[in-house]
Chains A and B, each alone.
Chain A
Amino acid sequence: MKSKGGILVVDDDPDLREFLRLMLTSMGFEVISAANGQEALDVLEGHHPDLILLDMKMPVMNGWEFCRAVDGRDACPPIVVLTAAPDPAARAAEAHADGWLGKPFEYEDLEATVRRFAARPAR
């Protein structure tokens, strides 16, 4: 039986992971992090988050590869790609992701995007 909820942050930059963890917890979310696509797949084995925030350029397994790996899976959480590429919307569409955030992003945009997909846990 998988545990449920929270946001899975996948980024190879530890500082950005930490930043996102801090921001998202301050917004009231629970956060799990992974350093690349492979680690994220491992996390998904035992947990079903509400949302995945996914960096695209990562070692071991990058964002596109991760998206391909989970594409078509039943009950895969929605994916929002985090990308520094010039045309983030197109990148997101290519990867069949559900949304995108261009780096660097505004605090407000982060919050608004995340809220569209993930609910805060009831206390």
Chain B
Amino acid sequence: MPLPQDWPFAASVVATRRREQVLFELAKRNKADVAETFRAITEATAIALDVERTSVWRLLPDRDAIRCEDGFVRAQGRHKAGDILWARDFPSYFSAIGENRVIAAHEARTDARTRELSILYLDVHGITSMMDVPIWHQGRLYGVLCHEHVGPARRWTTDEETFAGNLADVASLALEEGERREAERRWDAVVNTIAEAVFVLDGDGTIVQANPLGARIIERAGGGLTLAERMELVEFRDEHGRVIPADRTGGRRSLRGEIVREINQLVFKRTGEQRSFRITSAPMRNGDRIHSVVVVMADVTEEMAFDRLKREVLAALAHEFKTPVAIVKGYAQHMIKQPDATAAQRPMLDAIERASNRLQRLIDDLVEVSGISLGRLVLCREPVELTAMLRSVVRWAAPAATHHRLVVNAPEPVVVSADLLHLEQAVRRLVDNAIRYSPPSDVEINVAPSDKFVVISVRDRGIGIPADQKNRIFELFFRAHAGTAHDVGGLGIGLFLAREITIRHGGAMWFESEEGKGSTFYMRLPRAEVR
């Protein structure tokens, strides 16, 4: 068949079509496997541009060498990798690479940029013309895509340069994709090995993703991917055992924008099994729109059971202590009243009574702590006038405060809605501490009302709290001065209780303290309307 007259043009059209086809094929590929994509690129460009040797070189982190990640030799049909070229051997070539532009060396042996490669590289492989295009990754030069022509020198056309540049872009995409896939793999490994169950819920509350632990929970429930199905199979209960309705579960609340952290009991209706989970759920946003929710669940059943056991034991112990103390104290009180008790016996009997009173207080503390932490504290709110309550606290403290002056500063009567007994208990603890941890001095009790709140503060001029212990001061059984010269005994319960009671009243407690100067404890209570 005779060639058409304009055949060189036709040939270039065919070549262009073929290159477009190659690019299209490469673009369609799954590029997650970087090495695989590099192999496809070197082969494709070798054939499309009719080049003997093609390769991808990576600039090493110190930028003092390039390493061949994949090299294709057409005549052998083989790929090879691992060669390294050092910058110190080929400084001009490396500085040309550093300029991040295409190096099109038609005469590679004489081109200023590539001639230094002649003896060690070009001559060895019979290379006459070279074209290197930069490969970018994360806004930096990753390396070069090399075309090495063997045979009579050739002029690289602009089209060829453009095509090579396009292939370099495909390489960049592959690097990005590979990196993303790697990050995903790492993340998957994390999600699959953590001790928490992880779920992703869509806008309807349907579970669209779960890690293996999450899948196991779904299995245990016998299904429940959709919200309706889940509510059929699993009952959600809050910490107090109350059933949580479908629209109040953490997932639903997060869909409305809340970050929820709570402990739920899950009752798997299929088996009747009941377990406790610490559940965290958070909204996932796309701009302003919440499209899904991530829910993380940690099984805390054993932890909670042990905690409960500890507190039950505490409560039972305290209970068992009470009868013997009643007997000891009762007899002591009885004998003191007897007219025939001798002068020598009386101080002993007094000591027995005092000791049993102390025991009784400790037991009361334990009972109260275990009661509060078992959730048995029920507030009986009533209107409480604070000044009157504080005067009662002062009367209570007076016998112990023989060397202290207790001063109440209350500008006006302030009424709050509170459980008088417990609130007074809480303030007593603060005043008791102020007396016990200060030398003879004033203890000031101030009432500072504002619109919404009232702050009761108890200020002493005592030994203060060491700076390194400030953040533990409200912990149960923590005693700042334990084992020091200032150790005045006790269980380390008072501040824990005072704060718990304050919190249950919807308030807050904090303090300021300077060692050697004294401490001020603040109790803030909401000024709820009192009918």
Contact = CB atoms under 8 A, between A and B. Distances in A.
B326 interface: yes
Contacts of A13: 323, 327
Contacts of B319: 57, 84-85
A16 B323 CA distance: 7
A19 to B, nearest CB: 5
B334 A104 contact: no
Interface in B292-335: 315, 318-320, 322-327, 329-331, 333-334
B21 to A, nearest CB: 85
Contact of A19 (B318, B322, B327, B356): B327
Given A13-B327, A104-B326, 10 more contacts: A15-B324, A19-B326, A19-B327, A22-B334, A23-B330, A103-B325, A103-B326, A104-B330, A105-B330, A110-B330
27 contacts: A13-B323, A15-B327, A16-B323, A16-B327, A19-B327, A19-B330, A19-B331, A23-B330, A57-B319, A84-B319, A84-B320, A84-B322, A84-B323, A85-B319, A86-B367, A86-B371, A86-B376, A103-B325, A103-B326, A104-B325, A104-B326, A104-B356, A104-B360, A105-B330, A106-B333, A107-B333, A107-B334
B334 A105 contact: no
A84 B333 CA distance: 19
Interface in A48-72: 57
Contacts of A57: 319
A104 B326 CA distance: 4
Interface string A83-106: 011100000000000000001111
A26 interface: yes
Interface residues on B, range: 20 to 34
Contacts of B333: 106-107
Nearest to B332: A107
Contacts, number: 47
A84 B318 CA distance: 9
Interface of B: 315, 318-320, 322-327, 329-331, 333-334, 337, 356, 360, 367-368, 371, 376
A110 B322 CA distance: 15
Contacts of B356: 104
Given A86-B367, A86-B368, A103 B323 contact: yes
Grouping DSSP codes into helix (H, G, I), strand (E, B) and loop, the B interface class, with mixed when no group exceeds half, is helix
A103 B324 CA distance: 9
A63 B129 CA distance: 106
A13 B325 CA distance: 12
B151 to A, nearest CB: 99
A103 B371 contact: no
Given A86-B367, A86-B376, A23 B323 contact: no
Contacts of B320: 84
Contacts of A19: 326-327, 330-331
A63 B463 CA distance: 49
A110 B320 CA distance: 20
A106 B360 CA distance: 11
Contacts of A84: 318-320, 322-323
Contact of B322 (A22, A26, A104): A104
A23 B327 contact: no
A22 B333 CA distance: 13
B486 to A, nearest CB: 30
A1 to B, nearest CB: 35
A16 B326 CA distance: 8
A30 to B, nearest CB: 18
Nearest to A102: B322
A34 to B, nearest CB: 16
Contacts of A23: 330, 334
Interface string A1-36: 000000000000101100100110010000000000
Nearest to B376: A86
Contacts of B326: 16, 19, 103-105
Nearest to A15: B327
A103 B334 contact: no
A84 B330 CA distance: 15
A57 B320 CA distance: 10
Nearest to B319: A84
